[in-house]
Amino acid sequence: MANVSLLPNIGISLSGGGYRAMLNGAGVVEAFDSRTPNSTSSGQLGGLLQATTYLSALSGGNWMVGSLYTNNFTSVSAILAQDTPDSDSGGLWQLGNSIFEGPDTGGIQLFDSVGYYSSLVDAVDGKSDAGFSTTITDYWGRSLSYQLVNATDGGPAYTFSSIAEQDWFTDGSTPLPLLVSDGRKPGEKLVPTNTTVFSFSPWDLGTFDPTVYGFAPLRYVGTNFSDGSPINNDRCVEGFDNVGFVMGTSSSLFNSVLAVVNGTDTTGLLSSTLQSALTDVLADVGQADDDIADYVNPFYNYHSDSNPYAVSRQLTLVDGGEDDQNIALHPLIQPVRHVDVIFAVDSSADTNTTYPTNSSGAGWPNGASLIATYERSLGTIGNGTVFPAVPDINSFVNLGLNNKPTFFGCDLANLTGPSPIIVYMPNAPYVYDSNTSTYDMSYNDTERNAMVLNGYNGATQGNGTLDSQWPTCVGCAILSRSLNRTGTTVPDVCTQCFDRYCWNGTTDSSRPGDYQPAMKLTAVSVTSGAGRLTQSATALVAALVVAAYTTL
């Protein structure tokens, strides 16, 4: 207690995966939050969130993180408690209607669908009229805001940098939120695995990668910079970092869904005004680039000898999982962060089959995201980061490591430098088959709540019923590096926990059979929603996804 450097630094990292990732991640964060009713009782983990230093996310996971912070760091339980008899999902997370329809009127939505579309177009037109280029990500971000921001029209004036001015942030009572996005150079069609990974915090936008190794103040992103300074006689620009645009940037793969409107929509859900506007955008950026978010490049002429973005006035960013690192680990494994343990929540859809096949074994993680981060750390782009070794995908499945919590990096002797312990927490069926498609665009209240509850049970291991020592083992993982730094003898109970949860290096690379995970606890009863995409829209989305992955 006399030396704060000896205390553990905790990180929580959420993966992408659409609303599946948002809701599964929400269940984990709810379990870690001391504000959640009964979360500090026996077998629970409430308070871990309040002890956490960093909370990172990308794509669908970033919607959950961004929504909490945009709404005064509200709690997941408070959002779910907003349900009212006359509203399908209360004021936030109204997922009963897809983004094609907009929320029901009477809550934070004041318009019918026609008014909703008009408001999206008007907001994006305003940005264009101000002299900035726009892409589908602008429409995507604005539409997301209607579900994620508790303000009229989704809070078009809300900025991500304004979080840094809130008392609950400045007093250090919340983790630092970090949203992850990948760089894609102008004209580049693919996102290579060694691409520059950028992160957004309320303070800045930037990267530790050696290509750029720089950060710009997020509040003034939109300003013309050159070689790290604002261009002389040019005015500073504020307001560019709209919260919806930032969240949309980290989840831009979903622009494939909005691209349905490019002259092919047969759902009847899209207005001709929005369809026309998005068609124009697609014509401007080209089909190969329709998923970009277009920023005024703050790294123009900066570190020109190594920075591939230094030659362009534009900084084009895409979904943070497009480089296969689908868990937002990158900003937390940087040596300067001094993170000791990362709770890596994996809601990826990797196993068995690809959408739209509805196999019960499809849509679960298989460890691929951890493997991508480990392999990247071995290259020069890793910038000195050390990541624990992990097994191959077949071993993840054959050994059941993708179906239960597993600790990686327990033995410091097997590491080449400082590295956090990774507490891998893969999505699995605890009380609900939460392997919904990444492209499911709507969930009714019972489905939404079941997804969150399943994540909660994964975080607590069924409130300790699957392992009564699980909360103790979580504590051992958190304290492990501190025990090492102080030369403290590892308690016997922690030795037992490490024997049970640490990967011991065993592999089984034989081809696994069909993956059909069993329900771990008693399944909850859920009423299926009628608010899914129509059959024609689903077919269109499926075709777009197949086309996108064929290209990639």
Number of domains in the chain: 1
Q: What is the DSSP letter of 503?
A: -
**How buried is 515 (Cβ within 10 angstroms: 0-12 exposed, 13-18 middle, 19+ buried)?**
buried
* Per-residue CA distances from 359 to 3, 105, 346, 349, 517 (Å): 53, 36, 19, 12, 11
SS (H, E, C) 4-43: HHHCCCEEEEEECCHHHHHHHHHHHHHHHCCCCCCCCCCC
Percent of the chain with pLDDT over 70: 83
* Per-residue CA distances from 521 to 126, 164, 347, 454, 461 (Å): 51, 41, 19, 10, 10
Residue 323 has pLDDT above 50, yes or no: yes
Tens-place pLDDT, residues 41-63: 988 999 999 999 999 999 999 99
pLDDT of residue 104: 66
Half-sphere exposure of 457 (CA within 13 A, CB side): 22
d(CA 305, CA 416): 29
pLDDT of residue 336: 93
Band (pLDDT 50/70/90 cuts) for residue 103 is low
Which range (241-245, 524-528, 542-546) has the least confidence?
542-546
At residue 234, φ and ψ (nearest 5 deg) are -105, 145
What CATH number has the domain bearing residue 177? 3.40.1090.10
Residue 110 has pLDDT above 80, yes or no: no
* Omega of the bond leading into 356 within 30 degrees of 0 (cis): yes
Q: Where are the alpha helices (DSSP H) in 445-491?
A: 445-460, 470-486
> Which residue in this structure is represented by tokens 């997020």?
218
Token pair, residue 225, equals 């910079």
Structural domain boundaries enclosing 44: 4-551
Rg (CA), the chain: 22
Token pair, residue 389, equals 């070794």
Average pLDDT, the chain: 86
Q: What is the DSSP letter of 327?
A: B
pTM of the model: 0.90
Tens-place pLDDT, residues 89-98: 457 898 988 7
